[in-house]
Structures are given as C-alpha cells and as structure tokens.
Amino acid sequence: MFDTTNFPNAKKVWFMGEFQDWSDSKVHSMSHALHYGTSVFEGIRAYATPKGPAVFRLEEHIDRLLHSAAVVQMKVPFSKEEIIQACLSTVRKNGLDSAYIRPLMYYGYGNLGLVPKASPVELLIGAWEWGAYLGEKAKYGVRVYILPWRRVHHSQYDMAAKLGGIYVQSMFCGVIAREKGFDEAVFLNFEGNIAEGPGENILIVKDGVLTTNDMSESVLEGITRTTVLEIAQDLGIPTVIEPISMEDLCHSDEIMFSGTAVEIVPIIQVTDGSNPNVGERACTIGKGEAGPITKRLRKIYMEIVAGNRPEYEGWLSYVNR
C-alpha cells in the first residue's frame, strides 16, 4: 500500500477513462515525461459549499491545460468536456468535500528519443484533500526570499503554459528559500524586476491602488490573479498592470501572493538575496502584518469559493449535479 500521509483521503486515480486504486497507479520507468519533463498539468481546487463540493473556475483551468498541451504539440486524447467531466467525477469517486485536483497529461512509454514519436499522450487525474499550501501562517503573512536565480524568460517559451519541466526551477528555488528559513521564494526576471513566486503571482498595494505585472514580465498570468483583479474592480479598487521593481515592492503598503494552491496570502517581509556580492537586505511590508485590502480580498475570495457569494456563482462547477 502506498503511504497517503501527504495525499489525505486519496482513494482512486482517474487514468485514461478508468478509475484505478491509488496504490495500483503505475507508469513505466522509461516513460518519456519522467526523463525529460514532457508533461503539462493543472492545479485546481474544489471547495465545500452549501450545495456540496464545487470546483472553482474549472473551465478556465481546462482551457489552460489544453493550451499547454498545444504548446508541446500533444494530441489530446479527450475533448474539453470529457476532461471537465473526468475532473468532477474524480472528486465524486474519492468522496471528497474539498479537494486539490491534479490533471496531468504526459508523453508516456514508447521511445526515448527527444521527439516522442512512439510515446502516447496519456491523461491522469488525482484528487485529495490539500489544506493551506503555506500552512497556517498563510492567514497572518509569510516571509519571502528573493534568490539570485532569475525566472525563466518569456522569450524562452510560452509562459501561458504549465509545462512540467519548467517547474524544476520552481522546485529547487522553493527548497533553497525554505532551507534559509523563509516561507517561500520570489523570482526576479531578467530585467531585474519582480516576476513571481515558484507557484504564485504577486500583487502589491500602494496608496489604495492594486498593481500586478503580466506575461511581459515573465509570469504565468494565473487564474487567481485574474480573479483578484476582477473582485477588486467590482469593489471599486483601482487596478494597474505594470512592471514591479524591487523598490516598489519594499515601499508598498501591502503585498500578496495569489494562486490556486496558496489562495490569497499576505507577504509581510521580503529579503533580497538576489546579489550575493552585496549581501542580503530585508524589508518589512507596511506594519508587518496582513493589510486591510489583502484581508478584504482574501475574505471575499474565500466566500466566493465556498459558494457564499451568489453574484459569483458562475465560477463554480458543482460536483453533484
């Protein structure tokens, strides 16, 4: 039996149209994706609502999955609607009230030349209960570390795609930041501006204006980022899309991460370790605690995903319908 300590309540994996027991899920050791990172994936959340579990912005996530697949020339073996239904049925089959849902599409076993000419495209979907990605302090604020490694650049690949291999950079930078005692990493881009976290976008608040960057600054324009901008606009909070410099970051009143896994998390301290020759510089953001706009946006976001904001119900796909 596989240990499911880090996959609470996972019971079944959807694999190419069939459910497998969690412990029976297998891919061959010579699968193309294992060697070259030739996979695309999504991170999606479902939340408990008064009408049973509901998946947040499922259609947008599957659109992005299909876009990612197109970027790496995958011939997708299922339609968009079939993948949507498969995600819903995976939550149902696992009996989950809330879930993190992970569709993964990859080049499987067939050949190991870089061109996967005999490697079939396979799709699997896992779902389990995944709590706060950055732990309980997510509510109060996290401390981040800016590494010397610059974010992969938007001129190197289509940053609207979530490609498995690209996440190697996110992985080791996240590990380094934690080993240094911080909660998460943040990347600068080649231009020296703030890019994003390893799996999160960054938004700042200064004098009541909410600012974030876009793909031209080498970020994935996340679905949560879009959601936060839409909520802010509905609340009448001015929003701006422009590059964010290190100075902007340190002089902002509030900073937040956004992302499906982290949801909305205040950042209360930034340590710049991007230039080892000059040493580290730490700045405290605002009063060193979650700011009012971050708290307001987070509260509304959590109400929306929990089905308690009828005006945003269109973003929810109910699992039991």
Signed CA dihedral, 285, 291, 294, 298: sign only? positive
Pick the binder of ligand PLP from 40, 43, 72, 286 (CB under 6 A): 43
Sign of the alpha-carbon dihedral angle for 315, 42, 172, 179: positive
Q: How far is the CB of 61 from ligand PLP (least distance, A)?
A: 7
3-state SS of 156-175 is CCCCCCCEHHHHHHHHHHHH
Residue 110: CB minimum distance to ligand PLP, A: 28
State the catalytic residue, choosing from 11, 26, 139, 162.
162
List 259, 266, 286, 291, residue binding ligand PLP (CB under 6 A): 259
Strand pairing report for 142-150 and 184-188: parallel
177 lies in the site for ligand PLP, by CB under 6 A: no
Q: Which residues pair with 128 in a beta bridge?
A: 100
CB of 87 to ligand PLP, least distance (A): 15
Q: Minimum Å distance from CB 43 to ligand PLP?
A: 5
Tell me, yes or no, if 162 is annotated catalytic. Answer: yes
Least CB distance to ligand PLP at residue 300 (A)? 16
Nearer to ligand PLP, 12 or 228 (CB): 228
Nearest residue to the partner ligand PLP, using Cβ: 222
Residue with tokens 């609340």: 235
DSSP assignment of 101-137 equals EEEEEEE-SS--SSS-TTPPEEEEEEEE----TT-GG
The residue type found at 93 is: K
DSSP-derived letter for residue 255 is: E
Residues 181-200 that bind ligand PLP (CB under 6 A): 196, 199-200
**Is the separation of the CB atoms in 43 and 102 below 8 Å?**
yes
Q: Of 115 and 160, which has the nearer Cβ to ligand PLP?
A: 160
* Residue of the chain from 98, 189, 260, 271 that contacts ligand PLP (CB under 6 A): 260
Per-residue CA distances from 263 to 34, 130, 158, 193 (Å): 29, 12, 24, 23
Q: Which residues contact 172 (CB under 8 A, 6 or more apart)?
A: none
Nearer of residues 32 and 151 to ligand PLP, judged by Cβ:
151
* 196-235 residues near ligand PLP, rule: CB under 6 A: 196, 199-201, 220, 222-225
User: Which of 196, 254 has the CB closer to ligand PLP?
Assistant: 196
- CA–CA dist 126, 103 (Å, integer): 6
* Cβ proximity to ligand PLP, 213 vs 258, nearer residue: 258
Catalytic positions are 162
Chain residues in the site for ligand PLP (CB under 6 A): 43, 196, 199-201, 220, 222-225, 258-260
